[in-house]
Structure 1
Amino acid sequence: MTIQQRKSHFTELGKFLGRFTNQGLKLDNQNPAYTALEQDFEEQINMAVHYNGWFTRENVLFSLEQWSSALTKENLDTWISSYNFENESDKTVAIIMAGNIPMVGFHDFLSVLISGHKLIVKQSSNDKKFLPLIARFLSLVEPAYKDKINFTEDRLPHFDAVIATGSNNTARYFEYYFKGKPSIIRKNRNSVAVLTGNESREELEALGEDIFRYFGLGCRNVSKLYVPQGYDFDSFYKALSTWERLLDHAKYANNYDYNKAVYLMSKFKFLDNGFLILKEDPGFGSPIGSVFYETYSGREQLEKNLGLNKENLQCVVTGGYEPKNVNFGQTQLPALWDYADNVDTLAFLRSL
């Protein structure tokens, strides 16, 4: 397969994923070969929450929609234009995936295949239903993918390089175990938002998407706020009012209640609007149902803090503060060239 053929295959995948919407499945009556796969996909979307209580239909469809929007000819051309992947490779890349949000490992999956390599996928037990269906789609488009994609639940067979995602603790094991192989090892990261107090209601409402999408479980979810000294959280809380619906989800409500109880028993000071706790804390990984915050007195102090913690940060969300990293409401809409941990996956794969 040429790079142009591979790009066309993933463009077709983008169109296929676009058939699954909150309004229901848009059947492709022009291609009956996809009918069984469409039905299996729809079934897994409806069943996902039974395998992983955090994978609601709304969040699964949101993920599929974002990947559908990303996989266009224009986006793929822009992404690939700086690299030479004309020739297929005989290298095999192992991917060890996380499972915190739906299809969290798809970018690595896509990167390996678009670059012409073979892959071995070890999925998380929390997210193991959708990538095999995507592999089925690609094999329908081009049967050669059957020999390029291998899923395993056992010890990894022979491979030439590895991309592994896990916690800071598992990363140490990955680094030791894979020390003889070219690798990308990803650790815990969190995202923060910088507020100035001059944000509009629309910007703060958009920030709600950065905080609450996927229940805050992703590394691109905002888990901490930097606010100026004396910041009034009233407007912030009012702008997030529509997200009170998360209390209808038992797992979120239980986590919120538990963490609130822990804070109360520990006599921590915190703010609370009935579904989101704000706790002043220098840390980054706030528990579900809560967001940490830290005050700053000036730009110099803030920039120093962000610089010292850059290895812990995935996204910095800003509005009026410069330099901008990610705009409000955009953390869960990364482009193909927005690499996790700022590590260029395609450059790594090109070097093999």
Structure 2
Amino acid sequence: MMEISVFPSVFESTRAQLNNVSNTLLEGLKIEHNDESYIIGELALKEGLSPHRLINCAPGELDFEILFRAALLMAQQNAGRNFSLTLGFPFALYQVHQNTAKQQLTKTHDIIFDSSTYSLNGTSGKQAISVSLNKVFTVPEVAGSIIALRYGENPETEDFIVLSLGYGSCEGVVSTKSGIIRRTAISTRGIRYAVNLMKDELQKEHFLGFKTEHQLNVAFQKGNININKRSVDLANIKQKVLRSYYSNIIRPALLNAFQDSDFDTCKKLYLVGGGAYFSELTNQIKSEFEDVLTVIIPDNPHTLAVRGYCINTQKQTEDDVSVGIDLGNANTLVCVNKQSPHKE
């Protein structure tokens, strides 16, 4: 059975001593890296002043190192300290980062973390563990969703189009029984475009102070934001900016990439990623393509890619334990499957 952990992809350095401020490791992620302490995820949102991360960071960059180490710390709880994993990159960055990721990450990672944030027993405090990665596989992010759709619980056997509505990027491609059609691959701006439009709209009437991009994204998802001790309903703004996002970004990309012949062979369009939860966006896509495609939003669309990464690790290694890590721009997801792979 797959176990999935999710934490916000933000961090902040800290000098504070944080004891018993959370209930679990997931809620109390605090690690050391290069003699600096960092709070990560929920703890950064709760205790930090400016939780942040770079969009589409690369292996070797601080943001990647901090979030990846936090993801390994979560993975080892269920996977142990010796395993292989798969992670993904956007289409536009996949060729640039795939070899670097394998070379830099396939090794033993020494991780120092502080368990006093969530533990009061005798072993609380700074602890060191080593996690050995036997093999690191990389795939384009949208390929992770395709793998999950074709080899997951209800395998898809027909040709289809998949559109991944992520925060940092929106990606799509035609998937056939024999592979993807690269001509149809698109990689363009993600939900972040709409969040920045919302910020511009809000600043016309409100002073937003020092709210970070991630804090604005959380408000965008919730549909309201607290500004100067007053709750502001974002429903109308959200509808407006998502309409602009679809018209300006997604629609042109789809119409330029897909030909009539693609609709002859594909009868389904899968919407995946966190953006698939926004009905204001998905309804526009359904309205555009309902005459030629059945638009499907699978269960838990935000976890589909990381489930695909985990399945890919299992297929590549046939190990008893497989791991997938999705260092998303909004959230980091860690998937561990401890079941033995099915062998023909």
Give the TM-score, by structure 1 length: 0.31
Which structure has more helix as a fraction of its residues?
1
Which structure has more strand as a fraction of its residues?
2
Structure with higher RCO (Cα < 8 A, 6+ apart): 2
